[in-house]
Amino acid sequence: MFRSLCGVSAKAVLLSPLALLSLSTHPAANAQEALPEVAVEQTGKPSARKKKPVAQSSAPAVDEPDVAEPEGGAARLPPVVGVGTRGLAVPLTTTQIGRPEIQSKIPNTSNSAELLRDAPGVSIFKAGGVSGLPVINGLNDDRVKVLVNGMVVTSACANHMNPPLSYADPSQIAYVEVLSGATPVSKGGDSLGGTVIVESLPPHFTGAGEGVHTAGSISAFYRSNGDGVGTAATAHAASNAVSVNYAGAWTRSDNYEDGHGNEVLSSEYEAQNHSIQLAFRDGGDMFIVQGGVQYIPYQAYVNQYMDLVENKAWFVNARYVADLGWGKLDARAFYQTTRHDMNFLDDKQPGDMPMLTDGEDVGYAVKAEIPLSGRDVLRIGNEFHHQGLDDWWPPVAGSMMMGPDTFWNINGGTRDRLGTFVEWERQWTGAWSTLFGVRNDMVWMDTGDVQPYCTMGMMCMSDAAAAAAFNALDRSRTDTNFDATALARFQPSASQSYEAGYARKTRSPNLYERYVWGRGSMAMRMVGWFGDLNGYVGDPDLDPEVAHTASLTAGWSSGVRKDWELKVTPYYTYVEDYIGVRKIGDGGMMAPDVVYLQFANHDAELYGVNVSGSLLLADSSQLGRFALTGVAGYVRGENVDTGVSLYHMMPWNGRIALTHALGGWTSSVEVYAVAGKHNVDTVRNEMETAGYALLNLATSYEWETVRVDLGIKNVLDTYFEDPLAGHYYWASPRDNVPGEGRSFNAGLTLKF
């Protein structure tokens, strides 16, 4: 019998459909209740409960409450339980997304960032088909800490075409945790907005005396819009002590059509990811080593001058999790290297302009969780991350501008960070708990001499002068950054919880923000991950940005059963030295829409509110469970120095879904609505967008060995422009990128 790759997915199906579909969990609501039992299960010991066949689980889990698993249980915990998975290390603002929800999204998207979209406060900067950039509470991209299996991976591209989440296909992901606002220092560092933790399909071990077990799955999907297809496969073998997992995925899509039936050029892509995981268990200890490769032969960019024409990467990642007498130890080490090639795909323009990047990320993290008493937990940790980057543009034969020399955009750039934290959590009474943490991150950055395409003649003057000035500088920089977090939670009953938090968080500039130097119009337009088609230059004297965030979360529910839930989180963030831009020129007659910008420190403030909730409408053994779930958010961000709106602030947006679940059958009718975007960054010529609403339908049925997903996205084929999609390369005069029109999506998964 197939018992699921990991136990997590089978267990998850036993959960209440309401919990499955609700994205507004507060996982640690019963922090004082026992969690260790779950932890043991998660480290691989299958429990008798999990053997219950999926198809027979017609009785919702809500009717059989499980005290060991507060609100959602196994699927709501990381597949491998390490440090920081309980109590205030999981603040009330956390959204945990389990395998069932992820699985239902696979037919709809190949972009793992889209998996986060339903979490309160999250929106996505549109990039290529698999490379969206997450935003949490208005703070985007590098300001969000993204950990894929604990690895810190940095975009190795001047357009951030290969952000961390682009290295994992949705089909390979088992668990996502999104922390917004005031995050514990144990999960922070070198970020401002929040933390995204993504974990792949976990190891699974057999019980004593069960012998060797094997399992696997193959799946395929089709999307009518863009003729998108994909396949994924998993294979698994396990004994009592050893687990081997393979997970691979391949996907491709042509350009999609908008709601008017027009093809949106430069939106095609193809990608494949493969990984192998080997895990060994000995009692409560586990050692996991994972290796993987990625190959993207092409990914077009609708809002950039360049396209990705090849991205090749591989990684090795090792982790050791141990339950020692004095506490829990969680240690990781990783290496990833990426070769990234940009040029023009057929859509964009003829000709040739190769731009190459070599990036590497190396690091370790050692964290420990030590129970000091029945009430106190101490978490300490030390981590190191090294980023190395070369970014160079070979000369183009016969070109006046692009030659005769190689353009060195970043030559031997390095960014090394050593982080150390200590965090103390105390359960004062049954209702009150607090968490205090401080951390230091030392950041050292440097880079080598640069070179323009040419040094003689009119065409070369700006870049040649800029290179000479840059090479004359002392470019090494050291930042001493301090973060602090304080959280207090008050939970007087199962139906009420309140949490107040303050966090000071610091991010040092990335290598591009500090060290990109070209002043020629072409060189500048090659830099920027904003999708605005403007040109950017760095500033070695940029200071780190420091955010002070205060937030309050109030959650109410009907009690343990959660027949209804409501959670509201208002927040305010003041950012000292926010890395924004100042205008240094424009495109003039030649390119009237383009502005040239230099990264610059300003003060900024952001504030907003996130709301989420669910409501059980009906629950009958014949008709199943009907529920409403909803999420809404608003953010406003402003440059305090100038009063101008920050770039890409998501206007009021929300989704409400009517869900139904009966046995293995789940369905939803969803309306997603976005208000018009009228607060725009006028310095960048950001354009306004109109409000819109989209209707989405989805249904799925899961038998023991077969799962079918059917859905229609944008049922009414509505034309819309996503407020964070940026500017359409093809539009003249300048315009927004059109969103995807209707798509019929289907997916099939076979398990064996």
In the complex, minimum distance from the CB of residue 298 to Cu ion, in angstroms, rounded to a whole number: 12
In the complex, minimum distance from the CB of residue 159 to Cu ion, in angstroms, rounded to a whole number: 5
What residues make contact with Cu ion under the rule CB under 5 A?
157, 159, 161, 342
* Residue owning tokens 């979490």: 119
What residue number has its CB nearest to Cu ion? Answer: 157
Is the separation of the CB atoms in 737 and 730 below 8 Å?
A: no
Q: What is the sign, positive or negative, of the torsion defined by CA atoms of 303, 306, 308, 314?
A: negative
In the complex, minimum distance from the CB of residue 161 to Cu ion, in angstroms, rounded to a whole number: 4
In the complex, minimum distance from the CB of residue 342 to Cu ion, in angstroms, rounded to a whole number: 4
Cα→Cα distances 684→329, 460, 485, 613, 645, Å: 47, 26, 33, 36, 10
In the complex, minimum distance from the CB of residue 527 to Cu ion, in angstroms, rounded to a whole number: 10
Comparing CA positions, the residue from 128, 145, 261, 287 lying closest to residue 203 is 287
Q: What SS3 state is found at 61? A: helix
In the complex, minimum distance from the CB of residue 156 to Cu ion, in angstroms, rounded to a whole number: 8
Q: Which is nearer to Cu ion, 355 or 724 (by Cβ)?
A: 355
Can you tell me the distance from the alpha carbon of 9 to that of 501, in angstroms, rounded to the nearest whole number?
Answer: 33
Q: Which is nearer to Cu ion, 342 or 597 (by Cβ)?
A: 342
Q: Which is nearer to Cu ion, 301 or 634 (by Cβ)?
A: 301
Q: Which is nearer to Cu ion, 161 or 238 (by Cβ)?
A: 161
Q: Which is nearer to Cu ion, 343 or 699 (by Cβ)?
A: 343
In the complex, minimum distance from the CB of residue 296 to Cu ion, in angstroms, rounded to a whole number: 10
Q: Which is nearer to Cu ion, 262 or 349 (by Cβ)?
A: 349
Q: Which is nearer to Cu ion, 151 or 161 (by Cβ)?
A: 161
Q: Which is nearer to Cu ion, 161 or 467 (by Cβ)?
A: 161
Cα→Cα distances 675→442, 600, 652, 693, Å: 41, 30, 5, 9
CA 180 to chain centre: 12
Can you tell me the distance from the alpha carbon of 559 to that of 651, in angstroms, rounded to the nearest whole number?
Answer: 33
In the complex, minimum distance from the CB of residue 273 to Cu ion, in angstroms, rounded to a whole number: 18
Q: What is the sign, positive or negative, of the torsion defined by CA atoms of 139, 140, 143, 145?
A: positive
In the complex, minimum distance from the CB of residue 268 to Cu ion, in angstroms, rounded to a whole number: 16
In the complex, minimum distance from the CB of residue 538 to Cu ion, in angstroms, rounded to a whole number: 16
Q: Which amino acid is at 599?
A: F
Tell me: cis bond preceding 297? Omega within 30 of 0 counts.
Answer: no
Backbone torsion region of residue 531, taken as left when φ is above 0, otherwise alpha when ψ lies between -120 and 50, otherwise beta: left
Beta bridge partners of 500: 488, 552
Comparing CA positions, the residue from 481, 469, 545 lying closest to residue 513 is 545
Question: What burial letters (b/e) apply to 632-651, b meaning 16+ CB within 10 Å?
Answer: bbbbbbbbeeeebbbbbbbb
Q: Which is nearer to Cu ion, 128 or 654 (by Cβ)?
A: 128
Q: Which is nearer to Cu ion, 526 or 644 (by Cβ)?
A: 526
Give the number of residues written for the chain.
752
